[in-house]
Each structure stands twice: as C-alpha cells, then as structure tokens.
Structure 1
C-alpha cells in the first residue's frame, strides 16, 4: 500500500489539539506522535503495574529506601520510552493495516510523514535510553527487563493469528510488575506473579473496551480482537475480567502485607477495593456503539490504577 500524501505536520485524526500539535518543535512532531507522546494514557497503563509492584514489594520486605525513589522515577521515564519504542514497532509492523482503518490511517507511517528507516532509528534510540536506565537496576532485574522484549516483539503480530491479542498485550504491558518487584527485592516471589496475572486481566478489561472502536474496520480487513470475538456478550466477559483483576490484586496485596500489622492490612486492601469500584463504574457505562464513550472509559483506567496507590503507600507508613 502506498502511503497517502500528507503535510509534514499533519495531526493524527483521533488526537488533535494536544501539546505535541501546539508546543513541540515541528520537526519532532511526527516522531512524538509515532511514540504516542500526544496521548499519555498508554504510558500510564504501562507504568501503574510498576508502581503497584514497588509499593507492594516494599510492604513485603518492610523497607523503602532512596533507591526505591529512583525506581519510581526511573520506571516512569522508562515506561514512557519503552511504550514509545513499542508503539513505533507496532506501527512499523501494522503500517498496511493502519492505512485501511479510519482511526489510524493518519498516523505518521501510513500517512507518509515518517519513513520505515527513520522509524526504526527512532525505535532503537528510545530502546537504548531505556536500557541505560535498566542498567541502574540490580543484575537479576536487568535479566528480567531484557526478557520483556519477547512479548513486546510478538504482540503486534498476535491479531493476525489469535482472537486474543489482548492477552499478548497484557503479557507485555504488565511485565513491569515482575521487573520492579525484582528490582526492589532482588528475587521473584509469588505475590509478584499474582500481581502480573491481575494486570493481564486488567489489560483484557480496558483493551477490549478500546478495541470496540475499531471492530467494524477490523472485521472488514480480517484483524482479530476480543471485541470482535465477544460481540454482544462483551459485558459478561468484562465482568469476568473485572473480578479476576480485583481478586488478583487483592491476593497479591494479602501476600505482601502478611507479616505487617492488622491496620496495615486493612488499609492496604482498600487498594483493590478502590480499583474494583472504578472498574465497576466503567462496566456500568459501557456502550459498544458509543466510540467517544469507549475512548473516555479506556482513558479513565489511569485514574482506576492511581486509586490503589495511596492505600498501599499509607499501609507502608504504618
């Protein structure tokens, strides 16, 4: 497919009027859009399992040091860069599909703003800076971080061979739970794996909502998704993912606070409760025919994930 001719600074259709469009240097705008810096929700969704893991791991060990402050900062920068590298890789592999979907055909590669060679160089640059941050982590955490490249590399192809590409997205997007738990504790313990599973269920919840925006176009071009698979049964599946998410975060929390005070336990389990409350609200608002509403619900998952953090932090102080 030949990219459609576009002006060098053409905005992406479903993300106009953001800081990239109005404040970023013009020559950088296509690359920032390629990395989705104009829509930070994906960075938040990649980052929040990392922050959950740092606080829960700190509850597990009973310590929080200056290095953990760096883990918060480093994971934030790393999440933005690795999400950018992942989105760049996704757009490279999906360039022909994106050109056939109304919502995505204005993205930098299918619209002709960025060439494949330029996109590859941009992806490598982001990944290298992320790797420099990873090198500040303990050796075992570095190994866990490098292993994350496998699900990241596979995800863009998943929608070609399975109806469950959201599972592969979950495997990639929640790897930070394993990485940051290991960075704090120096090893992997069972609450980290439970938290990772809960994050995958959460990804299935929010990305199924998101995928309903493209269900019609995906059907025309033969791209698979849980939105297409579930159809009118989506609310029932969303309820199942909701329960799995909350129960998983709850058990991970219980495992982390097992040796702490009863008051710490009571406050910590407010985290999964608050998360579950927000997901229940999203489920009540779900309408598969309302594209604008679907996007709002998807983006609201930043707030859903943030709600758990104060409970974990306060429990750590006790």
Structure 2
C-alpha cells in the first residue's frame, strides 16, 4: 500500500514566505536573534534584584515575578537601543564591513519607519513603569532618554563611549532597589560601579571586532584608545569589577555561597577569558562577548541566588539536616 502526503498549498507557502521576508529586516533591526545583548542589560538588574530580595526578605513568588518583568524590560530596552543606534549611525554603518548590511544602512527600512518603531518600544516601556514609586520612575525616565539616547553620540566626541554606555546599561541596579524599597543603599552604588567596569570590559572586547573600520570611519572607542596595552587595561577593569563584588558582599552581609560562586567563580572565569581572547580576531572577540552575556552573567547570578535562598531557607535546611542525623 502506498501513502501520499499532501504538499503545502503553493499559495500558502508563498504567503508565508512573503510575511517572513517582510519581517526579517525588523527582526534584524532589534538584534533579537543575538540575545547576548539583552542578557547584558538583564544581568545587572537580576543581580541587584536578588540582592534586594535577600535584604528585604522578598517572597520568592514576588521575586520571580519581578525578575520576569525585568527580563521583558531588558529585552525592550536593548531592542530600542539598537534601533536608535542604527538610526543615528546609518552613515557610519555603511563604512564598516560587519554593519553595512544592517536594515537602515542598507535601505531596507526607512528612517521614519524606524522612528515609529522606536516610539512603540518606548511606549510599552513607559506603560510598564506607570505604577512604580516616584524614585523608580525618575530612574526609568533618565535611563530611557538622556542616558540611552545620548550614547550613540558619544563615539563621535570621546574615546570613552563605553563609560557612558556603562551608566545607561546598568541603571537597572538602582532601579531594583528603588522599586522595592524606595531607597538606594551604598551597596547598590558599589554594585553599579562594578557593573560599569564590566561594561567597559565586554564592550571594549566587542569594539575590537571593528578596530580597522572604525579608524577609517572616524568612530572612537576604548578598543582604539587602549591600543597595545588593551589586555593590561582589561585586567584592571576586571579587578575593579570583582573588587566591587567583594565590597558588595561585605556591605550586604552575603554568605559563603555568594563568595564562592560570584566572587571566586567569577574571578576565575574572567582570568580564563582574558588569557584566551585574541583582541585582533573578530571571531574570538564575538565569542568572548557572547560568553559574558550568558555564562559569566549566569555564574555571578547563581551566587546571588544561592545566597538569597540560603538566607531565606538556611535555618530550615539546618533543622532538616539535624533531623536526618538524629534519625540515623
């Protein structure tokens, strides 16, 4: 007996292909397929939220709800930043091999359409923070407009655009504390200082992909500024980041799980990265950037999370262990 499988309708296949082709430039514009960027916005918020949850004894269900909201916010923030960056940098992008095919630079999306798309992102983000307290709302507004809005202009006037990016990318550290407690303690500012140093670390490595083209286009970056001393300077910023995590742990009263995973584990991971990355190889630089967005961010969060769980459930776990011991 022979069996035949009906093939898709030619009209349906053509319609699906047309829809996919029309959406592709918009998907590429948001860089949603390159998820490392979203995670690099998300992790500082996640670290700070977990730190806040531990100090404020936040219920676990509430914690994970706020973590999910932060992930959505980070996704929208990253996408909006990419759209705005591509609008302003379209002439630069045409001169750089890696970016000349971006939708606006390549003429696949018009500037007015991209601006409307950007405002759609900003509208959703403003709606998400409509009910937060005044301090958290002010931080959200400053982050969305002057901080993120001015970043693309920095690479035209200074070799330290990564320093400005480090402020805008990591405002979620302050946002988490402001939203939950209505205040911002010293430990939050120290953590933001550490994440600022981390941003310079990973974005300098990212910028190394375009060093030659950036010189031709007149784009400034720390990758060009640090020159032949780049690994030495990167080691300095990695040290600043881990030192900040140590101070945060002391100020916030974190326990052993945090120091083992976040501090010791993070330090080892950064050292291995620094040794392995080839700053003259775009492929190696992209791989290192990607690992920061996923592996390192998750490793450090694991320490914050383990410490939060230990603080909430530690006594119960100790009693459970004692009960088991007595039973034996």
String of CA shifts for 1:16-54, please: whole Å, max 9, x gaps: xxxxxx9x8332221121111121110000000000000
Checking the alignment, whether the CA contact within 8 Å between 1:60 and 1:255 is kept in structure 2 is no
Deviation at 1:269, TM superposition (A): 1.7
Q: Following the alignment from structure 2 to structure 1, what is the Cα–Cα distance between the partners of residues 59 and 259?
A: 19
Map 1:165-204; keep pairs closer than 5 Å: 165-204=161-200
Checking the alignment, whether the CA contact within 8 Å between 1:53 and 1:180 is kept in structure 2 is yes
Deviation at 1:136, TM superposition (A): 4.2
Q: In the alignment, which of 208, 221, 228 is matched to residue 224 of structure 2?
A: 228
Map 1:1-318; keep pairs closer than 5 Å: 25-148=20-143, 149-257=145-253, 265-270=255-260, 271-301=262-292, 302-318=294-310
* Structure 1: unaligned runs, 5 residues or longer: 1-21, 258-263
Deviation at 1:252, TM superposition (A): 1.6
Checking the alignment, whether the CA contact within 8 Å between 1:242 and 1:279 is kept in structure 2 is yes
The alignment partner of 1:243 has SS state of helix
The alignment partner of 1:105 has SS state of coil
The alignment partner of 1:182 has SS state of helix
String of CA shifts for 1:154-176, please: whole Å, max 9, x gaps: 11000111111110111111111
String of CA shifts for 1:53-102, please: whole Å, max 9, x gaps: 00111222233353322210111011101111111001101010001101
Aligned length: 291
Q: Following the alignment from structure 1 to structure 2, what is the Cα–Cα distance between the partners of residues 134 and 67?
A: 16
* Structure 2: unaligned runs, 5 residues or longer: 1-16, 311-328
Checking the alignment, whether the CA contact within 8 Å between 1:56 and 1:253 is kept in structure 2 is no
TM-score by length of 1: 0.88
The alignment partner of 2:240 has SS state of helix
Q: Following the alignment from structure 2 to structure 1, what is the Cα–Cα distance between the partners of residues 146 and 246?
A: 28
Q: Following the alignment from structure 1 to structure 2, what is the Cα–Cα distance between the partners of residues 246 and 168?
A: 20
Q: Following the alignment from structure 2 to structure 1, what is the Cα–Cα distance between the partners of residues 113 and 268?
A: 44
Quick check: which one's helix share is greater? 2
Deviation at 1:295, TM superposition (A): 0.5
CA spacing shift, 1:306–1:83, aligned 2, 3 Å: same
Checking the alignment, whether the CA contact within 8 Å between 1:253 and 1:269 is kept in structure 2 is yes
Q: Following the alignment from structure 1 to structure 2, what is the Cα–Cα distance between the partners of residues 99 and 169?
A: 22
The alignment partner of 1:63 has SS state of coil
Deviation at 1:184, TM superposition (A): 1.9
String of CA shifts for 1:204-241, please: whole Å, max 9, x gaps: 00111111110101111211111111111000001001
Moved more, 26-35 or 165-174: 26-35
